Amino acid sequence: MTELPISADLIAERNSAHAEALEDDYAALGRKLSRAGIDIDAIKERVAGFSVAVPSWGAGRGGTRFAKFPIAGEPTNIHEKLEDCAVVQQLSRVTPRVSPHFPWDKVSDYKALREEAASLGLGFDAVNSNTFQDQQGQAHTYANGSLAAQDSATRQQAVDHNIECIEIGVQLGSTDLTVWVGDGTNFPGQQDLGRSLDRYLEAASKIYAALPDDWRMLLEHKMFEPAFYSTVISDWGSSILAAQELGPKAKCLVDLGHHAPNVNIEQIVARLHRFGKLGGFHFNDSKYGDDDLDSGSINPHQLFLVFNELVEAELNPRDGFNPSYMIDQSHNVTDPIESMLSSAETITQCFAKAQLVNREALHEAQASNDTMMAFQALRRAYNVDVAPILAKARLEAGGAIDVLEAYRLSQYRSRKAQERKAVGLGAGIV
Ligand code: LRH
Ligand code: MN
C-alpha cells in the first residue's frame, strides 16, 4: 500500500483530541437506544459494512453551461482524481470504490491503473459510458442521438463504445456498466417517439449481448437535459420496460436529480425493487432540475425515506438485493473533496437512521391504520443524531473522527496547488 495522502500522525493526533467527547456521546446515545431496545454496537456494525462509490468526475470542479470556476490544485487527470478520492476514503472509510467515466478517464494501461488505485486503498465500481459528447476525430456525431440515432452507423458507434467500456471495466474489476443517454428531441415531431425507443432497444440489446455473465447493465433514466421536449429513457417506466425487454442482467439506476420536482422517488425505489429491477443509485440533491447538488443538502428527509425503502427491500428480497450506491454530483462552488466527505457522511447518516426504525411498530401501525404511530415510527428514527455511531465506526476503521477538520489541517489542497498544473477556464460538467 502506497503511503496515503494525509499524514496518519495528523489523523491520530486529532482523533485523540476528540476521543473522550466521542466516547461520552456514544455512551449517551447507547443508553438512549437501549431504552428503545436497540443495540448501538449492532447499528455500528451495519454502518461499518456500508459504503458508497465516489465519481471520478466529482473530484474536479463542475460547472454549468454558463461557466466553470476551477480551484487551484484540482485534479487534471485520472491519477490525480484517484489521489483525491483516496483522501475521501482515508478520512471517511466509507468510499472504497471509484466510478470511472470514459473517455474522460482513458489511459493506456488499465491493469496498471487498477494496481495504482489498489495501492491507494481503492477499487472501481460501475463504469460509465459517454455518448452524450463528441470526441476529436469521431466518425459519427451524437448531435442527433446515439443509441436511438436515426443513422445506424451512429448507433453502432455508440454500441462499440459501450462494449469498449465493458472491456475496460473487466480489466478494472468492475461488474456494472451504467448507460445514460441524453438522446431526445427539442421540438414536437422532431423524432417519432415510438420508433426512437425501438432503435434504442435494438442497439442496447447488442450491448447487453456483450455483457460477461457476472455483469449488469444499469439503465439511467432522466426526465430532460440535454433534450428539452422528449427524452428516450425519460422516467422509471421507460427504464423498467426497457430493462425487462433486454433481460435479467439489465437493471434500473435511480439518479435522484432526474425527476420532476416533488416526484415520490422512494416509491419509485419500492416499485423497481418489487419487480427485481433495482440496480443502483446516483446520490445527489436538487431543488429545481438536475442540479447535482450535495446529497441531502436540500432534502435530507427524502434521502432518509429512500433508505427506509431500501431497508424494507433488503428484508423482502426480490431477484436478489444488490443495489450499487454511487455519488453523482457537480461541485461548482465547494472544494470537491469537502463535498464528497460531507455527502458520504450525510448518505451514511440516512442509512444509519433507517436502521433505527422500529419495523415491528411500523408494520403494526400500518396494519391497524394507525397513521400517526406509523409516521412516528419513521420520524423518531429520523430525529436521532447518529453522528457518534458514524464517527466511532470511522475511528475503528482508521479514519478521522472529524473528517473536515483533519482535511483542512492537512493543507492537502494548497499542497496540490503547488504540485499540479492549473486547470483552464471553461464551462460544462468537467
Ligand atoms: C447525467 C448523469 C449521468 C452521468 C453524468 C455525469 O445527468 O447523471 O449519470 O454520466 O451525469
Ligand atoms: Mn447520474
- Centre of ligand 2 from the C-alpha of residue 259, in Å: 11
223 lines ligand 1 (CB under 6 A): no
Q: What percent of the chain has pLDDT over 90?
A: 96
Three cell numbers, residue 83:
489521489
> How many CA atoms lie within 13 Å of 333's alpha carbon, on the beta-carbon side?
4
Q: What average pLDDT score do residues 115-134 get?
A: 98
CA 341 from centroid of its chain's CA atoms:
13
Ligand 2 centroid, distance to 270 Cα (angstroms): 19
pLDDT at 428: 67
- Average pLDDT over all residues of the chain: 97
> What are the beta bridge partners of residue 176?
216
Residue whose CA lies nearest to ligand 1 atom number 11: 328
pLDDT at 282: 98
Element (H, E) at 131: none
Q: How many residues does the chain have?
A: 430
Show Cβ contacts of residue 193 under 8 Å, excluding neighbours closer than 6 positions: 230
- 429 and 63 in contact (C-beta within 8 Å)? yes
Nearest CA to ligand 1 atom 2: 180
Residue 50: closest CA among 379, 312, 324: 324
Does residue 425 carry a pLDDT above 80? no
Q: Which domains does the chain have, with CATH numbers?
A: 8-419 (3.20.20.150)
Task: Report DSSP letters for 196-246, one per residue.
Answer: HHHHHHHHHHHHHHT--TT-EEEEE--SSSS-SSEETT-SHHHHHHHHHHH
| Predicted local distance difference test score (pLDDT) of residue 426 | 72
- In this predicted structure, the answer to whether residue 258 has a pLDDT above a threshold of 70 is yes
Model pLDDT, residue 318: 85
With a 6 Å cutoff on the Cβ, whether 292 touches ligand 1 is no
Please report the sign of the dihedral spanned by the C-alpha atoms of residue 109, residue 62, residue 178, residue 135: negative
CB atoms within 10 A of CB 286: 18
> Do the Cβ atoms of 187 and 229 come closer than 8 Å?
yes
List of residues 6+ apart from 424 with CB closer than 8 A: 70
In this prediction, residue 177 has a pLDDT band, given cuts at 50, 70 and 90, of: very high
For the four alpha carbons of 379, 381, 385 and 386, in that order, the dihedral sign comes to: negative
Tell me: the pLDDT tens digits for 368-407?
999 999 999 999 999 999 999 999 999 999 999 999 999 9
- Which protein residue has the closest C-alpha to ligand 1 atom 1? 180
Structural contact between residues 254 and 269, judged by C-beta atoms closer than 8 angstroms: yes
Q: Give distance in angstroms: CA of 223 to centre of ligand 2.
A: 12
In this prediction, residue 361 carries a pLDDT of: 98
Residue with cell 438485493: 321
Establish whether residue 220 lines the binding site of ligand 1, counting it when its CB lies within 6 angstroms of any ligand atom. yes
Question: What is the reported pTM?
Answer: 0.97
Q: Residue 68 belongs to what H/E stretch? A: none
**Which single residue is written with the C-alpha cell 418489487?**
274
For residue 135, the model assigns a pLDDT of: 97
How many angstroms does the Cα of residue 326 sit away from the middle of ligand 2? Answer: 9
* Residue 137, C-beta contacts closer than 8 angstroms, at least 6 positions apart: none
Nearest-angstrom CA–CA distance, 381 and 305:
11
At 327-344, the pLDDT tens digits run: 999 999 999 999 999 999
CA of 294 to the centre of ligand 1 (A): 14
Prior bond to 226 cis, omega within 30?
yes
Helix crossing, 193-209 with 152-172: angle to 10°?
A: 40
How far apart are the CA of 85 and the centre of ligand 1, in A?
Answer: 18
Q: Quick one: what percent of the chain has pLDDT higher than 70?
A: 99
Pocket test for ligand 1, best of 222, 259, 328 (most atoms within 8 A of CB): 328
Distance separating alpha carbons of residues 270 and 48, to the nearest angstrom:
25
Q: What integer pLDDT is reported at residue 430 of this predicted model?
A: 60
Q: Which three cell numbers stand for residue 380?
A: 423518531
Query: Which tens digit of pLDDT belongs to each residue from 286-326?
Result: 999 999 999 999 999 999 999 999 999 999 988 778 999 99
Q: Which of 137-151, 271-285, 309-323, 400-414 has the lowest mean pLDDT?
A: 309-323
Which ligand 1 atom sits closest to the C-alpha of 290? 7
Nearest CA to ligand 1 atom 7: 290
* pLDDT above 90 for 74: yes
Query: Residue 345: its pLDDT value, please?
Result: 98
Where b means 16+ CB within 10 Å and e means fewer, 36-55 reads eebebeebbeebbebbbbbb
- At which residue does the C-alpha cell 420508433 appear? 195
State pLDDT tens for residues 183-218.
999 999 999 999 999 999 999 999 999 999 999 999
Tell me which residue has cell 449481448: 209
Question: Mean pLDDT throughout 248-267?
Answer: 98
Give helix 387-396 / helix 40-48 axis angle, nearest 10°.
Answer: 60
Q: What is the pLDDT of residue 77?
A: 96
φ/ψ of 194, rounded to 5, equals -80, -50
